[in-house]
Amino acid sequence: MLVKLDNPVFFVRAIEILSELVTEVRIKVNENGLSITAIDPASVAMVGLTIPKKAFSMFKTEKEVLGVNLDDFKKILKRCNLKSSLVMEKKENALVIKIEDKIKRNFSLNLIEVESQDKEIPTHFEFSSKVEISSQDFIDSIEDCAVVSDACSFIVQDSKFIIESKDLNSAHSEFSSDEATIQAEDCHVRYSLEYLQKFIKASKLFEKTILNFASDHPLQMNLSNENLNLTFILAPRVETE
């Protein structure tokens, strides 16, 4: 396997974000590109990352599965700067990582055995609501809610999309079709802000965030550009008496 990214910034940031959710992953590389699917240890969240083959300036590979410690991988990738190119090559039981800019730097990352994570992003969910929203507006709303509580509600009511959090204090953001693209039925569902605050770090990389949800259903959050696709799944917050 030998692949090269001339502009690895999005990949580097995505790996940083994934490392906050999971410790070890299996990186799959095949004729379609590179992909990662992983579930967090609490089985509350799931993440999928794909980079299509066309995003690479060099792509020579058979089918490969690379087990890596994300914290170690992240530390190496963070040595990239805005003008760096990233080359990754499998050699025996190591991933050789080359960062090429003013000088050429080589790192060797030991590959590890990672318990099988062959699950794919679910496709069976029946979402009643789809909202496409400015990423900055979404980020601001989640950060507002985090000021007052540890969970927030996604509500669709009267063709408006509402993000709100209520405890002793409250926060409320409301979007009409002027501020967001809303294809939705009325519904109400709660999600953990601990996870959403991690997800929105990825939203900062993209202009738009797409949210798919329904009452008592998981959230599916999609982010994409021509070189990178990220999907987050989050289980609904179940309130106990």
Q: What confidence score (pLDDT) does residue 241 get?
A: 43
* CATH classification at residue 100: 3.70.10.10
200 and 229, same domain (yes or no): yes
What Rg value do the Cα atoms of the chain yield, rounded?
19
Q: Residues 139, 171: one domain?
A: yes
- pLDDT of the residue at 117: 60
pLDDT in the model for residue 92: 92
- The secondary structure element, H or E, covering residue 209 is strand 208-213
In three-state secondary structure terms, 188 is strand
Does residue 96 sit in the same domain as residue 143? no
24 and 103 fall within a common domain:
yes
Does 194 share its domain with 227?
yes
| 184 found inside a domain | yes
- 152 part of a folded domain: yes
Residue indicated by tokens 């709100």: 164
Residue 120 counted as domain residue = no
Domain contains 9: yes
Q: Does one domain contain both 19 and 106?
A: yes
Q: What is the domain count for the chain?
A: 2
* Residue 83 domain-assigned (yes or no): yes
Across the strands, what pairs with 60?
Answer: 2
Q: Is residue 171 part of a domain?
A: yes
Cβ contact 164:155 at 8 Å = yes
In this prediction, residue 32 carries a pLDDT of: 96
Residues in the chain predicted with pLDDT less than 50, given as ranges, are 241
Q: End of a domain among 110, 145, 174?
A: 110
Helix 9-18, helix 70-77: angle, nearest 10 = 150
Q: What pLDDT shows up at residue 64? A: 95
Domain that holds residue 104: 2-110
Residues 36 and 67 in one domain: yes
What string of DSSP letters covers 7-74?
--HHHHHHHHHHTTT-SEEEEEEETTEEEEEEE-TTSSEEEEEEEEGGG-SEEE--SEEEEEEHHHHH
Residue 70 lies in a domain: yes
Q: What is the CATH number of the domain that holds 135?
A: 3.10.150.10
* Domain-located, residue 82: yes
